[in-house]
Structure 1
Amino acid sequence: MKKQPIVEPGPQPVRERILNAAMESFMEFGYTEASTLKIATRAQVSKRELYALFGNKQAMLAACIADRAGRMRLPSQLPAPSHREELAAMLSRLGATVLHEVSHPGVMAVFRLAITEAQRAPEVAATLETARESIRTTARIILVQAQSAGMIGAGDPSEMGNRYLALLWGDLMMSLLLRLCDAPDAADIDRRVRSATEDFLRLYPEPKSQVRRATSKSTPRR
């Protein structure tokens, strides 16, 4: 029996090397002090290559954040939920994705960077806020669809989405930022998601008219 040849991993693509070097430099020196020369040296590329791919330091930071934010996005064309159980499943899927990705140590490092550099480099916080807005938009879309289908009552879907995310996080974000706890494991995420979804659906019950309609359909005529 022939032995399978061992395939050695190839070198990282230049773009990936630059982004990794940029994030490491931001964490080590701070956004302001992490010069493009330091990043290029760490990535083992020339400054010309760096500028050809990204143009400037802010673009590198934006790419680092966008890479993580992209993992939190659900499909843009979400199917409308057809019943409350499906709504619960969609919220749970969003919640689990958000907790897993945002609590990643690299993402927490970006949040700390944004806080540290708030005055000297407000563009860091602005770039991060764009990523956070994509999460809120996805929650709003789910709730707009649920509201249109009569699964939840009247109200502002944006505020409802923010309430769901607040229930999901509790004080976990602050604890992670202060390094008081580790990122949640799969069991912790499942517990948080289940609790937040159940609490949210209790806060926003199905309108009584919909409940009466569903009950009348299920009651056999005499």
Structure 2
Amino acid sequence: MKRTSRDRRRDEILDVAVQVLSERGYRDASMLEIANRASASKETLYAWFGDKQGLLAALIKRNAQLVQAVLAGYLEGDAPPERLLLEFGRALLELLLGDSAVAINRAVIAEVKSDPALARTLAAGGRQAVLPTFIRLLERYAEHGTLKLDDATQAAEDFLGLLLGDAQIRRLLGLLPRPSKAQVEARAAHATRAFLLLYGR
């Protein structure tokens, strides 16, 4: 779908919002500062996103769409499961260990006790938006006989565990730098091989 000038402008504002969240956290990030730094009016931000939580939801949704686009490419056709696992794993690692997701997750974690709705927004726009499609794809591979599994939901959880381990929490704590493309590739390949040892035909 062709991107409009409004789409591009919206992405510019969201990029600025990530920077402000990273610097100030959710509580101290103001719509006014985001508007000023994005050279936009505060009225535009409220019209497009509603409020600060709506802006956060838009950031989460934008991130999730990057992974959803990868999965959508496998809903038709008969690509082998290892190709799906490798590409999905690569996209998920680049997302979850990238600067944008780290800034969003840190902001939510810092405020979750005083504003539990933020955690629900993160879950609904992120994991809950992506995982069902991955599970559906695993079920289809099982139906076609290319994977052997009784519980696709558990298999999906197993893949996420193999892929991420404790990398996400270490990244959030600042104990792990953003991985290079080579490191992402190696980690995704390792998780794919391990998953296929468990569930491959």
With structure 1 as the length reference, what TM-score do the two structures score?
0.77
Contact 1:80 1:146 in 2 (8 A): no
Does residue 1:120 correspond to 2:117, yes or no?
no
Distance 1:30 1:149, change over 3 A: same
Which secondary structure does the structure 1 equivalent of 2:67 belong to?
A: coil
Aligned residues: 193
Between the aligned partners of 2:114 and 2:34, the Cα distance in structure 1 is: 19
Between the aligned partners of 2:100 and 2:27, the Cα distance in structure 1 is: 18
Larger Rg: 1
Unaligned residue ranges in structure 2 (runs of 5+): 1-6
The structure with higher relative contact order (CA 8 Å, sep 6+) is: 2
Between the aligned partners of 1:41 and 1:58, the Cα distance in structure 2 is: 18
Kindly state the Cα deviation for residue 165 of structure 1 after the two structures are TM-superposed. Answer: 0.9
Matched residue type, 1:91 = L
Between the aligned partners of 1:20 and 1:194, the Cα distance in structure 2 is: 30
Between the aligned partners of 1:34 and 1:174, the Cα distance in structure 2 is: 23
Between the aligned partners of 2:140 and 2:156, the Cα distance in structure 1 is: 12
Distance 1:187 1:30, change over 3 A: closer
Which secondary structure does the structure 2 equivalent of 1:196 belong to?
A: helix
Which structure features the higher share of helix residues? 2
Contact 1:140 1:157 in 2 (8 A): yes
The aligned runs of 1:31-42 (5 Å cut-off) are: 31-42=26-37
Contact 2:159 2:191 in 1 (8 A): yes
CA RMSD of aligned residues (A): 2.3
Q: Where does residue 3 of structure 2 map in the other structure?
A: none
Matched residue type, 1:61 = L
Which secondary structure does the structure 2 equivalent of 1:121 belong to?
A: coil
Kindly state the Cα deviation for residue 144 of structure 1 after the two structures are TM-superposed. Answer: 0.5
Q: 2:75 aligns with which of 78, 82, 96?
A: 78
Between the aligned partners of 1:75 and 1:51, the Cα distance in structure 2 is: 32
Q: 1:198 aligns with which of 193, 196, 201?
A: 193
The aligned runs of 1:145-156 (5 Å cut-off) are: 145-156=140-151
**Amino-acid identity (%):** 32
Unaligned residue ranges in structure 1 (runs of 5+): 1-11, 207-222
Contact 1:91 1:197 in 2 (8 A): yes
Distance 1:79 1:45, change over 3 A: closer
With structure 2 as the length reference, what TM-score do the two structures score?
0.84
